[in-house]
Amino acid sequence: MKSNISNLAIVTYTNSVCEDVWPVYFGQIDKFGNKLKSYVFSNKLPESVSVTDSHKFVLYDNSDPYYKQYNGCLESVEEDYIVYCQEDFILTDTIQYEEIEKCLDVLSSTDYSFIRLVRTDIGAWKHYKECRKRNWEKIELSENIFCAHSTDFDAFSFQMQATIWKKKDIENLYNNVKSEKWLENREWDKGVRDTGTKGAYYYKDSLQEGPYHWTPEVWPHICTAVGRGLWSISLHQDRLLSVLNEYGIDPRKRGVR
């Protein structure tokens, strides 16, 4: 496998219930991430044909379990590495391609399966009181790339955040967990441990943004723009309002939080 940008693709999992988010999400990819091939896993094609000009839609059946939807669509992806994305990971600046190359170099030369492109509170599972915060030794695999201790029992190992994955390894994880629904739960963390999936995260010097993550650097995006079905205005404020205004989106139609 060649570790370079041409062997990496953006893969976005979405659903037509979020079709109102698509114009701003895909518009920002076209502006800030157009060096990468873009695949979209969706239950339907967009009404705007222009979106499909630069983004390859691969359709799934809403009645299928989530893991079959994802892995079924993944068969259409030609590249060996993917960036896991969702439609509310709205880019706000140009992707740092040189740093992405460094991430790919680490993945291609080690047995690590993923590098998360945002620092998160990796030691805490906020829904489970029995999983306390842990202060792990900070292991730097390469400059600005740190071990996420993903196989530790207390780790919040699997997160639906912008993440570079070896395609074969995320496919293996999905087939192991067999998640019926699109949900983060402890079954994913168990699957990571059962498969021995090792992960890392990228972090340089950004500030904490919200209670559980830091401002993304190498993949500069709003993390995340929609929470519980509503625009996350209270967290992202003018930054989100500005980009919504650019695309003529009235946040009141979906609602805000």
Going by C-alpha positions, the residue among 50, 62, 49, 83 that lies closest to residue 170 is: 83
Residue segments in the chain with a per-residue pLDDT below the cut of 70: 1-3, 49, 121-136
Q: What is the pLDDT of residue 102?
A: 97
Q: What is the pLDDT of residue 87?
A: 97
Distance CA 82, CA 104 (A): 10
Q: What is the pLDDT of residue 49?
A: 62
Distances (CA, A) of 95 to 33, 109, 113, 122, 219: 6, 22, 21, 23, 5
